[in-house]
Amino acid sequence: MIAPLLAHIQKYTSLTLDEQTIIEQNVKCITLAKKDYLFSEGDLCNAQYFVMEGCLRMFFIKNSGVEQIVQFGIDNWWISDYTSLTLNTPSLFYLQAVQLCKIAVLKKDKQDELFLQIPKMEHYFRSIYQRAYAAAQTRQVYFSDLSGREKYEHFANSFPDFVQRIPQYMLASYLGLTPEFISKIRAKK
């Protein structure tokens, strides 16, 4: 069932029952176990993923060999490698389940078909991408203005419940810090 996705779309535009059916026909619904991958470095990423339940992480491997998480996918967020998706280039990223997940998968060709059958879907995705880009701009402010300690505290204050759900070392990776350093921040609070 893709009810959460339909509900999300209807925050941006109304859908008839027929349209809901069409969407349902073009979206595949899957369940992921912890540590399952949706794609890996070198793959062509030809779909977008809507998280209905659980948590994904998108990361790449730095030159140093260390994993760098660039984004978490949580409830009601779309996540994908948009460079690979848009330009048909091999992805630099891995997209992996952090925990048990329910995901709606929208393949690129199915999306194109949706745009033809339901023009309103262009409006929906235009709005979604606009917000995603806005969020990326805001993130840049926090990442370039805050010290390591401040980034940690800002994130922990902004998403107190989420911080509980993921291992410390993933948070460190997302914030661009080492697990050791996070540990020291927590020690002398």
Cα 101 from Cα 24, distance rounded (Å):
19
145/128 Cα distance (integer angstroms)? 26
Determine the interface stretch with DNA among 10-18, 118-126, 129-137, 142-150 (rule: CB under 7 A): 142-150
Q: Of 10-69, which residues contact its own copies (CB under 8 A)?
A: 60, 62-63, 68
- Which does residue 33 touch among its own copies, DNA, none (CB within 5 to 8 A, set by kind)? none
Q: CA 97 to CA 32: how far, in whole Å?
A: 7
* Minimum CB distance to its own copies, residue 188 (Å): 21
Alpha-carbon span 47 to 30, nearest angstrom: 13
DSSP H helix total and E strand total for the chain = 9, 8
Q: Which of 21, 75, 119, 167 forms a contact with its own copies (CB under 8 A)?
A: 119
Q: What Rg, from alpha-carbon coordinates, does the chain have?
A: 18
The footprint of DNA (CB under 7 A) covers: 64, 66, 147-149, 167-169, 176-184, 186-187
The footprint of its own copies (CB under 8 A) covers: 60, 62-63, 68, 70-71, 81-83, 85-87, 92, 115, 119, 122-123, 125-126, 129-138, 140-141, 144-145, 176
